[in-house]
Amino acid sequence: MGRRVLHARAGPLRDRATLTPEQQETLTRVGPGTPMGTLLRRYWLPVAASVELLPGTVRPVRLLGEDLALYRTATGELGLLDARCPHRGASLAYGIVEADSLRCAYHGWRFDRGGACVELPALRPNEAARRRACTAAYAARELGGLVFAYLGPDPAPLLPRYDLFVWPNALRDIGRALVPCNWLQIMENSVDPVHLEWLHGHHLAAERQARGLPAPTRYRRRHTEIGFDLFPHGVIKRRVLEGGSREDDDWLVGHPLVFPVMVRVGANRQHRFQIRVPVDDTQTLHFWYSCYLPPAGAPAPDQDAIPVYEVPFQDEHGAPLVDFVDGGDIMAWVSQGAIADRTREMLVDTDRGIVLLRRILFEQIARVQAG
């Protein structure tokens, strides 16, 4: 979330070939120096809920294959540093917040929010060593109850004030799960309309019936048309369901994929961002950012802080929970493997949105590489 998608065409599916191993690597690897990691570092990505970071506290976070220490000073300022202390490599995420700085728990070296070493306790003062003992520091900002990080080059883009983050008179909460798979198979799900009628329609109904639970019917209508259009922030996914028309909101309004890691869903008084944050190549921090609007003319309840909660997706034996919509999604993502093997796929016409998303990613990688 930060820069706009500028170039891609949403034409008919022209290439049904699987990806090569080299293309697969390019799209899925997110660590430092990788093509995709370099692209994703141009965007603000959420790493924590604001309510989790009280003044004077620090917590470990992992983003794009990097271990970081996120902290809040006593006055509320945010700091985000490489977690590895340059002295002996102990994690700064277990350090002590002092003034606007973070002190390593191991030997007391202290670093300010810019990454400079401001104190190096030792038997003898050594100013030259202190000046050399810097660590990487990154930008951190808050919006709508989330803490966002930016790991890319300066200048950082503005943190986009998308609607659900800033709507007045609304109630919000944040669900979260650490999903054990690569970020891309989760994002590709967002441009795959037809899975709605099968995974969330037929499969969900069968699972709930087997448990003696009411079986929803709202998702079981057959798709008669799907489409994808570019807009300045990503891709609009559209569908027409059996018995419907292009005048329905599913087509007329559609569902936006906000490039590169977010999708927006909802209607009426309940709206949601799903944000898929690449922790590393095989883990994704998934946020469900929900916004609830009161009836027209009514005030929303007062909310001092936006709560965060963990979304369960496995039972006590590690089996997937598939009797609710998001649980079915997570089962499908994780069952593809830690990194889905796209060299063995057989894409068909209903996968045109997936082809479009991959095309955009390759084009944006090329734009970054071209400067």
Q: For 308-319, how does the pLDDT look when each residue is reduced to its tens digit (9 = 90+)? A: 999 999 999 999
For residue 180, with 0-12 CB atoms within 10 Å meaning exposed, 13-18 middle and 19 or more buried, which class applies? middle
Tokens of 74: 């006593």
Give dist(CA 168, CA 94) in Å, integer: 37
Cis, peptide link before residue 155, omega less than 30° from 0? yes
Task: Determine contact, residues 189/332, Cβ cutoff 8 Å.
Answer: yes
Which pLDDT score, from 0 to 100, does residue 1 have?
Answer: 57
How far is residue 300's CA from residue 316's CA, in Å, rounded to a whole number? 37
User: Rounded mean pLDDT of the chain?
Assistant: 92
Q: Which long-range contacts (CB under 8 A, 24 or more apart) does 212-216 make?
A: 213/323
- Dump pLDDT digits (tens) for 89-132: 999 999 999 999 999 999 999 999 999 999 999 878 788 888 89
Q: What is the pLDDT of residues 51-62, one digit of tens each?
A: 999 999 999 999
| Distance of alpha carbon 133 from alpha carbon 151, whole angstroms | 20
Residue 4 has pLDDT above 50, yes or no: no
pLDDT category of residue 13 using cuts at 50, 70 and 90: very low
Q: Which of 136-140, 150-154, 233-237, 293-297 has the least mean pLDDT?
A: 293-297
Quote the percentage of the chain above a pLDDT of 90: 81
pLDDT tens digit string along 222-239?
899 999 999 999 999 999
**Buried b / exposed e across 276-295, counting CB within 10 Å, b at 16+?**
bbbbbbebbbbbbbbbebee
What is residue 18's predicted lDDT score, i.e. its pLDDT? 78
For residues 242 and 225, give the distance between their C-alpha atoms in angstroms, rounded to a whole number. Answer: 9
Q: Is the pLDDT of residue 5 over 60?
A: no
Model pLDDT for residues 171-217, shown as the tens digit of each residue: 999 999 999 999 999 999 999 999 999 988 888 888 888 888 887 77
d(C-alpha 264, C-alpha 164), whole Å: 9
pLDDT at 127: 85
Report pLDDT for 235. 97
What strands lie across the sheet with 262-267, from one edge to the other?
Answer: 223-231, 234-241, 255-258, 262-267, 270-280, 283-292, 171-179, 308-310
Task: Please tell me the distance from the alpha carbon of residue 163 to that of residue 189, in angstroms, as a whole number.
Answer: 23
Residue 262 has pLDDT above 50, yes or no: yes
Half-sphere exposure of 230 (CA within 13 A, CB side): 14
Average of pLDDT values for 323-336?
94
Q: Does 2 have pLDDT greater than 60?
A: no
Nearest to 182 by CA among 353, 341, 317: 341
The share of the chain scoring above pLDDT 70, in percent, equals: 95
Higher-confidence position of 144 and 13? 144
Six-digit token pair at 50?
């604001």
At 174, list the tokens: 């944040």
Q: Which residue did the predictor score with more confidence, 13 or 17?
A: 17
The answer to whether residues 92 and 58 touch, using CB atoms and an 8 Å cutoff, is yes
Residue 17 has what pLDDT? 60
Could you give the strand order of the β-sheet that contains 96-98, starting from the edge strand earlier in sequence?
Answer: 96-98, 101-103, 110-112, 117-119
Q: Provide the pairing of β-strand 110-112 with 117-119.
A: antiparallel
- Taking the C-alpha atoms of residue 163 and residue 165, their distance in angstroms, rounded to an integer, is 5
Statement: residue 41 has pLDDT above 60: yes
Q: Which residues are CB-contacts of 318 (< 8 A; sequence separation ≥ 6)? A: none
Q: What's the rounded Cα separation, in Å, for the pair 1 and 239? A: 25
Secondary element (H or E) of residue 186: helix 183-189
Q: Residues in the chain, how many?
A: 371
367 φ, ψ to 5°?
A: -65, -40
